[in-house]
Structure 1
Amino acid sequence: RWEIQLSMSIETQRPTIAEIDLGALRSNFRVLRAVAAHGELMVVVKADAYGHGAVTVARALLDEGCRHFGVATLDEARELREAGIRTRVYLQAGFFAEQVAEIVALDLTPFVFEVSMLGLLDRAAASAARNDFPIHVKIDSGATRLGVMPADIPDLIQAVRSASAVRLEGVCTLLANAGDPKSPITDAQLGVFNKAIETLKAAGMRPSVIHVANSAALVLRYDSHFNLARPGLAIYGLPPVAAVRERVELRPVMTFKTRLMQIKRAPAGSGVGYGHTFVAPRESLIGVLPVGYADGYRRGLQHGGEVIVRGARAPVVGAVSMDLTTIDVTDIAGASVGDEVILWGESGNEVISVNDVARLAQTISYEMLCTVGKRVPRVIRS
C-alpha cells in the first residue's frame, strides 16, 4: 500500500521523490530493540526524522511499542504534539529561558544543560500547577557541547533540592567517539559519567532513567547500556560505521529516485552543463534528470557520482545544478524517457548506499538525508 504525504495524485506529483519504506523502519526498530539490554529505545526524530517525516515515523513506531521520541527543537516537539503524539517527547538540543512555559505546557521532557535552567523550569511548572514535572540532566562528560560540567554538579544538587515542582528523573550524556569501540575517549567519558551518577546517588538522588548510547554505542559498547538508548541513524537503516553493519542487519528506509526527463545525442567534444566541466570523449547519449542540489543531490556528485538506470550504473557527468543533473546513458541498453533512476537505494542487483554517496560529496550520510529538500514528496510504502 502506498501513501503520498502531499495532497496530489501519483500522476501529478514531481517525478523526483523520496520513497519511505515503513516495513524497513519497523524491522530496524525491532533489531535495535533486541540489541538493547534494557529493551527501551528513545527514537530520535529530530530534523524531520532525518528527512523521513517525523510524524510518519513516530506513528509507525508507536504501533511497534515505542514510548520515547527525541527532538532537537521546540518547533519539532510542537509538530508531534499537534499530530496527536502523546507519548514521551524529549527536548534534546537545549532551550532558552523564554521557552520554559511552553515546554511545560506541551509536557515535554527537557535535557537540562545549565543549572540555572532548572530553576526556570521549576517556576514554570509551579505556575502550571505541576508538582512532579520530570527533567533529565545532561552531563558534559567530555564532548564540550551542551551539558552541566562535572564541577557544577554540587550546584545542580542544591538546585534540585530547592525545587518544588520538578523531579530529577533522568541523567544522560553525549559520547563524542562512539563509532570506535575501543576508543579511549569513550572510556574516559563513561568514567566521568559514572562518577557523576555516583555523586548524585551519594546526595540521595536516584534518577530512574539513565541513557548514553547512540546508534553506534548501542551496537558496539555494551558498557554504555543503561536503561534507555537513543538510536538515530541506525533506525533509518544506515550503520554509522562499518562495525555496526557487521553486527546487525539494517534495511535502508529511504530510496531517493527520479525519472529520465530527456535523452539527447551529443557529438564527441560536446560540453555538458555549466562550465562544460564534462566534455564528451565520444558520441554520447546524455540523460537529463529533474533533480539538483535544491533537492538535496549535492554539487560534489559531479565528480564520480553514479545512479542506477534499468538495473545498471550510469555516471553523473557535468555540473549538478539547482534543478537538473545530467548522466551518461550511452551504455544503458534501451534507456528511455520516463525510466526510473535511483539516486540512492536499490534496483535489481545494484545498490547505491547513501553512505557511499555521502563520501563522494565529502560529507556524512546524516547530512545527505537531512538535506533532501522539502519540494521532494515523501511517498510512503507501508
Structure 2
Amino acid sequence: MPGANLPDMTDPADSFRPEANDRPTRIRVDLDAIGHNFRALQAHAGAPVMGIVKANAYGHGLVPVALYLQAQGIGQLGVALVEEGLALRRAGVTVPVLVMGGIHAPQVSQFLACDLEVTVSSIAKLRQVEQAAESLGRKAVIHLKVDTGMERIGVHSENAGAFIDAAVSSRWCAVKGIYSHLACSDDPASPMTHEQLQRFLHACSYFDRIGAPMPVRHLANSGGVLHFPEVCLDMVRPGIALYGVMPDPASRPTVALKPALSLVSKVVYFKVVKAGRTVSYGATWTASEDTRVITVPIGYGDGYPRSLSSRGEVLVRGERHPIVGRVCMDQFMVDLGPAGTAYNEDEVVLIGRQGDDAITCEAVASTAGTIPYEILTGLNARIPREYVGGASIPRSAT
C-alpha cells in the first residue's frame, strides 16, 4: 500500500492504554447504532454518504468507526487533518478519504503517498499540490472548496471561475469533487442555507459553461440532511448525526437516529455527609441535612465538563441524582439524598440509558452551556472505549 513507510504518528496518549484496561470509567460505543444511522441518513438524503470521522470520530474512536463503516459499504470518509488520514491508512482503511482542512505545503507529499484526497481552496494551494504531484510523478485527487458564507477557507463563490479553470486544466490534479459548508443548517428556520445553495449552484454552473464534466457536488452536513433536502445533491457529509446526536436544539428529528455513545463509571466511595458540611473545592455546596454522597472516578481531566459542577445529573440504580460541589480533575461527588442507596461498583451513567431513564448528550451539553459537539469531542484518550455490535469489524481494531 502506498505510504507503507509512514512516519510514526502514534498519539502519545495511547501509551496510557494497556491491552486490558479495567478502569471503571469507560465509553461504550454501539457500532450497530452507527450502522443504523448511516443507512437511515443515506436513505433520507437519497445520496451517498461521506462518513465524517474527524476528531476521533466525534469521540467514538477514529479507527474502529472507520473500519466498521468500511465493512458496511460506505464509499467515502472525511477527516480534518492529514494525520487522521494517515492513521486510517495505517489501520487498513482503503476507501477514499478526503482531508477537509486547509493544507500545509510540507504535508502535501504525505497526502499523495497515501492516496488521500486533498481539499484545494485557492489557486495558490492548487499550485502547491501540482508541484508535489509532479515531483512524485502521480496525479492528486482533489476537491475544490468554495466559500458560500462561512468565510473560513475556500474561494468566494462569485470568484470561482478562474479557480475552476485552473483546476480543470491542471495536468497533475484530477477534480473529483466541489464543495462548500453550510453555516446555519442546524436551524431549519434560517434563510441562509437557501442563499448558500444558490451561491454554490452558481459556482458549479461554471463547469457547464466551459463544457467540463461536473464533479461530485457535496454541500449537506448533518443539519442539511435533516432539514434541507434540496442541498443533498450528489453526496452528503453527516457528522454528528451519524452518531445519533442532534446538532442543535433547534434541529428537528426528521430521521430516526440511535445514539451510539454511552459514558459510564462506577461508585468508588460512599459516605454520609453531615448537615452543614461542604463538598469539594471551594466549599461551594453545603449539605442542608444529613445525606448520602457517592464519589465517581471521572472529572474534567477526562473531558467531563467542570461547568456541570452542582448542575449535572447522573443515573444510579435507574434514578437521577445531582452532582454536588465542583467537578474535580479526576472525580466528582453525587448526592443520593438522606435515604438513597448505592454500593461500591454500582454502575453510574453519565450519558446513556439506565432502566427507564436516559441522559442524552444533548441534555448534558445544554446543562453545561455548550454544544453536543464539544461534549463528544472533549472525551479524551484517558477514557477507555469498548465496542458492542459490529460483528464484521476486526476485533483487533478495538
Q: Above 0.5 in TM-score?
A: yes
Distance in 2 of aligned mates of 1:190 and 1:354: 30
1:119 counterpart SS class: helix
Equivalent of residue 73 in structure 2, options 42, 45, 65: 65
Distance in 2 of aligned mates of 1:258 and 1:331: 22
CA contact (8 A) 2:134 2:172 kept: yes
Q: Who is 1:107 aligned against?
A: 115
Aligned: 1:54 with 2:62: yes
CA 1:372/1:164 → structure 2, altered by over 3 Å: closer, same or farther?
A: same
Aligned: 1:124 with 2:132: yes
Distance in 1 of aligned mates of 2:240 and 2:72: 18
Aligned: 1:313 with 2:315: no
CA contact (8 A) 1:311 1:349 kept: yes
CA contact (8 A) 1:168 1:207 kept: no
Structure 1 residue 7 displacement after superposition: 3.9
CA contact (8 A) 2:158 2:203 kept: no
CA 1:331/1:172 → structure 2, altered by over 3 Å: closer, same or farther?
A: farther
With 329-338 and 283-292 compared, the bigger mean Cα shift is at 329-338
Q: Who is 1:155 aligned against?
A: 162
Q: Under a length normalisation based on structure 1, what TM-score does the superposition of the two structures give?
A: 0.94
Q: Who is 1:290 aligned against?
A: 297
> Any unmatched runs of 5+ in structure 2?
1-15, 390-398
Equivalent of residue 349 in structure 1, options 332, 356, 360: 356
Distance in 1 of aligned mates of 2:41 and 2:388: 21
Structure 1 residue 178 displacement after superposition: 0.3
CA contact (8 A) 1:153 1:196 kept: yes
CA contact (8 A) 2:49 2:236 kept: yes
Q: Who is 1:360 aligned against?
A: 367
Equivalenced residue count is 374
Q: Who is 2:37 aligned against?
A: 28
Which amino acid is the alignment partner of residue 190 of structure 1?
A: L
Q: Under a length normalisation based on structure 2, what TM-score does the superposition of the two structures give?
A: 0.91
CA contact (8 A) 2:52 2:77 kept: yes
CA contact (8 A) 1:303 1:360 kept: no
Distance in 1 of aligned mates of 2:338 and 2:201: 59
Distance in 1 of aligned mates of 2:288 and 2:203: 64
CA contact (8 A) 2:188 2:251 kept: no
Structure 1 residue 219 displacement after superposition: 1.8
Aligned 1:64-103 pairs, distance under 5 A: 64-103=72-111
2:126 counterpart SS class: helix
Percent of paired sites with the same residue = 37
Structure 1 residue 331 displacement after superposition: 5.6
CA contact (8 A) 1:28 1:250 kept: yes
> Any unmatched runs of 5+ in structure 1?
none
CA contact (8 A) 1:257 1:342 kept: yes
1:176 counterpart SS class: coil
1:85 counterpart SS class: coil
